[in-house]
Amino acid sequence: MTVASPTAEEPTTVKRRSPLAETWENLRRSWAGMLGLTLIILHVLIAATSPYWIPHDAFEMNAEIRNQAPSAEHLFGTDKLGRDVFSRSMLGGRVTLVVTLVAIVIAMIWGGFLGIVLGLLNGRADELIMRLVDAMLSIPWLLLLLIIISVMGTKMWVQTLTFGFTYGILTIRVARAATLDFVTDEFILAARARGERKRTIVIQELLPNVRDVLLVDGSMNWSWMLLGFTSLSFLGFGVVPPTPDWGFMIAKNREILAIQPWAVFGPVIMLSTLIIGINLFSDAFAKALGLDRSQGAPV
Amino acid sequence: MTSLVGRRIFLALVTLFFISLIVFMGVEALPGDTATAYLGQSATPKSLAALREEFGLNAPVHQRYLDWLGGVVKGDLGDSMVKRKPVAELIGNRFRNTIVLATAAALVGIPLAIVLGVIAGLMRDKWPDVFVSTTSIVGMTLPGFVTATVLIYVFAIRLEWFPAITLVPSDVPVIELLPNIVLPIITLTLIMVAHILRLVRTNMIDVMTSDYVQMAKLKGVPYWSIVFKHALPNAMLPTINVVALTLAWLLGGVAIIETVFNYPGIGKLMIDAVTDRDLALVQGIAIILAVIYISLNFIADLLSMVLNPKLRTARGH
């Protein structure tokens, strides 16, 4: 700790704000971070409340108003089946958001836990499992997802588990690397020398230190997961129609891109603002925690 | 150094073995087997049983795995039961097309990424850096189909500069292919540039704030001499690995872009193969892409070792 030495008047009451408050202070100073956070909150609010305020029935087809350009009645126009694109765009992120948010928590928990344990053991089991992890990551990510989804099916909870599992593999590496960074630090050596049990070391000494790394990794991983989920949906391996979903809407409405581009722009705008929001936030979040956003392809 | 290279080769082989196992078991678990895919709607229990016997599908899993692996090692990827052709023949031209696409994107993208990354790194937190960095996040994280669709709207539908989709057979010569694939190349280049430039930028910042660059500055070495003679070579070294990783990653994700542009590449073939339950084809493509991924990583590691004297003696992890 490089805190300024306490002054003579106040030897013990050096005021330290909680780490959470400090992070929040740092985050608030970044306009990009706040813009990102606003976009994320807006998307969550839309997903949670849209069924109550969308102007039209998102499933109602009407052959008389097919492929209509935007108007006061239909803000983003209508699609090939005469459905209101605006209403569908508002609803289109509900499944995506629920699946990816739950899945990212699953990924952080199992990947983080396994990674920490492996980093701590650093032995033969570590060597073997890391080879398996390398192997999984050497398979093209899209193919891996396609195979798992084809095997497991596209039920929502199955997809949630699939994504939680697959993206947790990425977290193992991150958590392991972070653990290895700390394991040789003095405070861990001291705990080991005190003869503390491994479980105690993990929970009390390591977890708080690795936690920051995991949180940043999780928020970045979320955007990679969105990329994966919507890509599968785009290819027709995701949400089952007629449930509105951005990826699938873009895929289907591409057919009328020349006549009614807003049928594509609607979901594109919604999906892009969410992903950009998450990334602006992740970047600022990492800086606020004093971590530099390590960069690279997810797989 | 030789032992280090030997160790890396050994690890790569172990990883490959695991991949073959994961791929085989994963594909094996797909619902519906080759016989049902082959017969389609006309399948009867009797004809299915006969066909399974003929294809040797009744053998135990480990037996079939070993047979398949034995074939792969000898370069025989088996036959596609759905398309009724050898897998290698089906992959041939498609694979070449994807390589053409990826190479074109890499030739444009890598130099561009390095230049932009260096500029952003040298002008850290000034507006060119903020602009380049922010744009690169967007380019990197937006799904390929979104970028591609927007590009199609602007350049194919509005401006009518390039065709929106590729309408050529998979076996045309490269020269005839290129004019048709300007938009896929641009899409791929954008994503690639975004990935690589961010790392070049970070490395550049690291090197420029390092002790020896500070020392050079204090000694009065001219700024541009520091940048080109001292900083750049050191910043480039870690970039080699990222370029390899990015290329390999793009090969995995290029399927989306190929689908959007209807481009006859290996990625599109892969998606069709999964949809058709063409097990042998899925396995073949997966193994080829995995081998490329591992080879690229291996070459990058080797290059870094040759260029970095410190790594030559260090023990590998």
Contact present, A81 and A87 (Cβ < 8 Å): no
pLDDT over threshold 80, residue B265: yes
* pLDDT of amino acid A11: 44
Q: How confident is the model at residue A294 (pLDDT cuts 50, 70, 90)?
A: very low
Say whether B79 sits in a helix, a strand or coil. strand
Amino acid identity at B56: G
* pLDDT of amino acid B286: 85
- Residue B269 tokens read as 């073939």
Instruction: Verify whether the Cβ–Cβ distance A297 to B259 is below 8 Å.
Output: no
Q: How confident is the model at residue B40 (pLDDT cuts 50, 70, 90)?
A: low
- Closest-CA residue of A relative to B196 is A296
Chain A residues near residue B285 by CB distance under 8 angstroms: 143
d(CA B266, CA B271) in angstroms, rounded, equals 9
Chain A residues near residue B271 by CB distance under 8 angstroms: 142, 146, 235
Which residues in chain A (209-238) have CB-CB distances under 8 A to chain B? 223-224, 227, 230-231, 234-235
Looking up tokens 């849209």 gives: A50
pLDDT over threshold 80, residue A155: yes
* pLDDT of amino acid A299: 34
Q: How confident is the model at residue A13 (pLDDT cuts 50, 70, 90)?
A: very low
Instruction: Verify whether the Cβ–Cβ distance A147 to B157 is below 8 Å.
Output: no
Percentage of chain A exceeding pLDDT 90: 29
Contact present, B199 and B241 (Cβ < 8 Å): no
The mean per-residue pLDDT over the stretch A30-36 comes to: 88
**What are the pLDDT digits (tens) for A224-277?**
899 899 999 998 888 887 889 999 999 999 988 888 999 999 999 999 999 999
* pLDDT of amino acid A12: 46
d(CA B85, CA B77) in angstroms, rounded, equals 11
pLDDT over threshold 70, residue B274: yes
Chain A residues near residue B142 by CB distance under 8 angstroms: 227, 272, 275-276
If one compares A16 and B120, the residue with the highest pLDDT of the two is B120
Nearest to B80 by CA among B298, B269, B208: B269
Contact present, B77 and B23 (Cβ < 8 Å): no
Instruction: Verify whether the Cβ–Cβ distance B143 to A230 is below 8 Å.
Output: yes
Q: For testing the chain B interface, which of A40, A137, A143 should be mutated: the one with the most B CBs within 10 Å?
A: A143
Query: A79 in the Ramachandran plot: left (φ > 0), alpha (ψ -120 to 50) or beta?
Result: beta
Nearest to A67 by CA among A265, A248, A257: A257
CA dihedral A116→A119→A123→A126, nearest 10 degrees, is: 70
d(CA B84, CA A186) in angstroms, rounded, equals 64
The DSSP annotation for A139-205 comes to: S-HHHHHHHHHHHH-S-HHHHHHHHHHHHHHHHHHHHHHHHHHHHTSHHHHHHHHTT--HHHIIIII
Please report, for residues A220, B160, B245, B247, the alpha-carbon distance to residue B296 in angstroms, rounded to integers and kept in the order given: 25, 37, 7, 8
What is chain A's length? 299
Q: How confident is the model at residue B312 (pLDDT cuts 50, 70, 90)?
A: low
- Closest-CA residue of A relative to B282 is A143
Chain A residues near residue B18 by CB distance under 8 angstroms: 131-132, 134-135
d(CA B168, CA A145) in angstroms, rounded, equals 29
Say whether B23 sits in a helix, a strand or coil. helix
Residue B240 burial (CB count, 10 A):
17
Percentage of chain B exceeding pLDDT 70: 91
* pLDDT of amino acid B146: 92
DSSP conformational letter for A71: -
* pLDDT of amino acid A298: 41
The mean per-residue pLDDT over the stretch B206-229 comes to: 83
Nearest to B106 by CA among B265, B235, B299, B250: B250
Q: Which of B14, B19, B255 sits opposite A139 (nearest CB)?
A: B19
Q: Tell me the whole-structure pTM to 2 decimals.
A: 0.84
Chain A residues near residue B256 by CB distance under 8 angstroms: 142, 231, 234-235
Phi, psi of B311 (to 5 degrees): -75, -20
* pLDDT of amino acid B39: 67
Chain A residues near residue B150 by CB distance under 8 angstroms: 268
Amino acid identity at A115: G
Q: For testing the chain A interface, which of B25, B125, B127, B145 should be mutated: the one with the most A CBs within 10 Å?
A: B145
d(CA B255, CA A145) in angstroms, rounded, equals 13
Q: How confident is the model at residue A99 (pLDDT cuts 50, 70, 90)?
A: very high
Instruction: Verify whether the Cβ–Cβ distance A143 to B274 is below 8 Å.
Output: yes
pLDDT over threshold 50, residue A297: no
CB-count burial class (<10 Å; 0-12, 13-18, 19+) for B317: exposed
Q: SS in 3 state form for B104-173? A: HHHHHHHHHHHHHHHHHHHCCCCHHHHHHHHHHHHHHHCCHHHHHHHHHHHHHHHCCCCCCCCCCCCCCC
Chain A residues near residue B11 by CB distance under 8 angstroms: 131
The mean per-residue pLDDT over the stretch B216-240 comes to: 81
Q: For testing the chain A interface, which of B36, B91, B146, B254 should be mutated: the one with the most A CBs within 10 Å?
A: B146
d(CA A29, CA A285) in angstroms, rounded, equals 11
* pLDDT of amino acid B24: 85
Q: A86-100, B27-41, B140-154, B163-177: which range is least confident on average?
A: B27-41
- Closest-CA residue of B relative to A126 is B317
pLDDT over threshold 70, residue A71: yes
- Closest-CA residue of A relative to B138 is A276
d(CA A82, CA A88) in angstroms, rounded, equals 12
**What are the pLDDT digits (tens) for A192-236?**
778 777 777 767 777 777 888 888 889 889 988 998 999 999 988
- Residue B298 tokens read as 């291996």
A251 in reach of chain B (CB within 8 A): yes
Q: For testing the chain B interface, which of A147, A221, A225, A226 should be mutated: the one with the most B CBs within 10 Å?
A: A147
* pLDDT of amino acid A38: 95
The mean per-residue pLDDT over the stretch A166-170 comes to: 91
pLDDT over threshold 70, residue B243: yes
Q: How confident is the model at residue A10 (pLDDT cuts 50, 70, 90)?
A: very low
pLDDT over threshold 70, residue A6: no
CA gyration radius for chain A? Answer: 23
Most confident region among A47-51, A122-126, B238-242 by mean pLDDT: A47-51
d(CA B311, CA B133) in angstroms, rounded, equals 30
- Closest-CA residue of A relative to B291 is A138
Instruction: Verify whether the Cβ–Cβ distance A140 to B251 is below 8 Å.
Output: yes
Instruction: Verify whether the Cβ–Cβ distance B149 to A254 is below 8 Å.
Output: yes
Looking up tokens 């699609």 gives: A79
Quote the minimal CA–CA distance from A196 to chain B in Å.
Answer: 28
Rounded to two decimals, the ipTM of the complex is 0.82
Contact present, A51 and A57 (Cβ < 8 Å): no
pLDDT over threshold 70, residue B38: no
- Residue B300 tokens read as 């990058």
**What are the pLDDT digits (tens) for A180-195?**
877 777 777 777 778 7
CB-count burial class (<10 Å; 0-12, 13-18, 19+) for B109: buried
Chain B residues near residue A276 by CB distance under 8 angstroms: 137-138, 141-142
